[in-house]
């Protein structure tokens, strides 16, 4: 006997109340800021740089990781979100359910590897070409 697929829960913008709409907008902004911080972390790891923006990004992404750990991989605000009338997990607004479920572990892994890079990839001189600092000429 095979299990029946669970129907996909949808809630259009028009179906949402004002709190649920505000939450979606806030959640989208939060997700965008998280991705920007992840980009900062990786740019600094690759460039072997340390600056205040890196540490702020690590703290912000780390706080998100702690929140997801508390929620055991789910947004700890999920219950509040549902109570406000939005039953759709954020990633399912953008991705199919299976991909949305995989997004959190994938982003967590990318975040952890990036933060490990901050710890283990010592700051250093960024190599430039040509080494004497002049611009390379095209022939």
CB 108 within 8 A of CB 115: no
Q: Is it true that the peptide bond before 8 is cis, omega within 30 degrees of 0?
A: no
Classify residue 12: in a domain, yes or no: no
Please tell me the predicted confidence (pLDDT) of residue 8: 55
* Distance from chain centroid for Cα 11: 23
Classify residue 134: in a domain, yes or no: no
Classify residue 55: in a domain, yes or no: yes
Classify residue 130: in a domain, yes or no: no
Classify residue 124: in a domain, yes or no: no
Secondary structure (3-state) at 134: coil
Classify residue 125: in a domain, yes or no: no
* CA dihedral for 84, 57, 46, 73, sign (positive or negative): negative
Please tell me the predicted confidence (pLDDT) of residue 40: 96
Per-residue pLDDT reduced to its tens digit, 7-60? 555 667 777 888 889 888 998 899 999 999 999 999 999 988 899 999 999 999
Tell me how many domains the chain contains: 1
Range of the domain at 66: 20-119
Classify residue 25: in a domain, yes or no: yes
Secondary structure (3-state) at 57: helix
What region does 54 belong to: left with phi over 0, alpha with psi -120 to 50, or beta?
alpha
Classify residue 131: in a domain, yes or no: no
> What six digits make up the tokens of 102?
């995989």
Per-residue pLDDT reduced to its tens digit, 96-115? 989 988 988 899 999 999 99
Q: What is the CA radius of gyration of the chain?
A: 20
């Amino acid at each position: 006997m095979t299990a029946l697929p669970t129907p996909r829960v949808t809630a259009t913008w028009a179906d949402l109340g004002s709190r649920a709409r505000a939450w979606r907008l806030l959640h989208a902004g939060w997700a965008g800021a998280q991705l920007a911080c992840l980009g900062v972390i990786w740019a600094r790891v690759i460039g072997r740089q340390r600056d205040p923006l890196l540490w702020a990004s690590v703290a912000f992404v780390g706080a998100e990781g702690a929140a997801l750990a508390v929620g055991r991989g789910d947004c700890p605000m999920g219950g509040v979100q549902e109570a406000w009338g939005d039953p759709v997990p954020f990633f399912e607004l953008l991705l199919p359910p299976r991909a949305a479920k995989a997004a959190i572990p994938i982003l967590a892994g990318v975040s952890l590897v990036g933060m490990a890079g901050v710890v283990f990839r010592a700051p250093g001189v960024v190599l430039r070409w040509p080494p004497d600092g002049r611009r390379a000429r095209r022939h």
